Amino acid sequence: MNLSNPQRIFQAVETFRIEIPSWGFANTGTRFGKFLQPAAAATTEEKFSDAGEVHRVTGVCPTIALHVLWDCPGGVDSACQITQLSERYGVQPGSINTNLFQDQVYKHGSFGNPDPAIRSQALLHTKDAIGIASQLHSRDISMWFADGSNYPGTANIRQRKRWFEEALAEVHHHLARDQRLLVEYKPFEPAFYHTDIADWGMALHLARAAGRQAKVLVDTGHHYPSQNIEQIVAWLLSEQMLGGFHFNDRRYADDDLTIGSIDPYQVFRIFHEILFYEWETGQKADIAYMIDQSHNLKGKIEETIQTVMMAQMLFAKAALSIMRSSLRRNKNAI
């Protein structure tokens, strides 16, 4: 396949879209407290308003990721209000994110909790999230779990794995045909001895155990320092199991920093692997690009625009890099 056609670069940039998170506009903080911003969004409507402004400026953020409980406190009954906000502010509902970490009952986990009643509650919440997604015509249900343990010997790791396999398979059974389940992983926090889904291999296994509509979600902050994330991306592409990204930057792990502020070429290398895969194989990688970051000190709208513009630039550079490499190979062949 000819990778040196400049038209491919324009096509790539024109089709690039990235989803922004509702929680990125709200007051957030660390485990020590929050640093409040006067302009931070306090309601779902204000989040939609801020997201609409980012999309107006950048033109590539037509969807907003929503968090069940934070943005949909009324469950399925929230769908009507969200649809009205979507029409008013010009951004569509995007991925639906479950909340299986905030309630006190999840102190010892959700799908991996040793109490069957709490596992059932987590399942019911997830099924409600799928119902909300159906009402809003949202395709992706994104799942991150805080499940794990802090001390050796306090959890049956193998049993918890089986509980996760069973619960995710049950959840998958309730998906509509056009919906996907995105399984996220994280090496630590808030569990520091063992995390039930600690790396991409565990997420890959559980996605396969769930069913054909389940894929892996890669958060660029959810890795140890110096880990080769683009290799993980390449492997997941090869297995056709890469479903989406949560983009941010980090010095250590999950620092939630603006893209490009620490390692400007981390996301470039990721985009390069994706575009190289697409242009070499001729297959479109069905990947949801999403931002997952929220700042305590920087202005919410400003930092989101900075991140989106950096993502656009790195995506374009990745496309240029592939074309130049192809030109060099063709020249050497002559």
Q: What is the DSSP letter of 62?
A: -
Strand 29-30 with 242-247, pairing: unpaired
d(CA 141, CA 242): 14
Strand blocks (E) in 166-229 = 180-184, 194-195, 214-219
Q: Considering the entire predicted model, what is its pTM?
A: 0.94
Whether 247 and 258 have beta carbons less than 8 Å apart is answered as no
Residues 6+ apart with CB under 8 A from 116: none
202: number of Cβ within 10 Å? 17
Q: Which two tokens stand for residue 12?
A: 């790539």
pLDDT in tens, the chain (334 residues): 455 566 777 887 899 999 999 999 999 877 788 889 999 999 999 999 999 999 999 999 999 999 998 999 888 888 999 999 999 999 999 999 999 999 999 999 999 999 999 999 999 999 999 999 999 999 999 999 999 999 999 999 999 999 999 999 999 999 999 999 999 999 999 999 999 999 999 999 999 999 999 999 999 999 999 999 999 999 999 999 999 999 999 999 999 999 999 998 999 999 999 999 998 999 999 999 999 998 888 999 999 999 999 999 999 999 999 887 765 555 555 5
Whether 212 and 175 have beta carbons less than 8 Å apart is answered as no
Identify residue 11 by its one-letter amino acid code. Answer: Q
> Measuring CA to CA, which residue among 215, 211, 208 is closest to residue 95?
215
Q: Which CATH class is domain 7-333?
A: alpha beta
d(CA 141, CA 132): 10
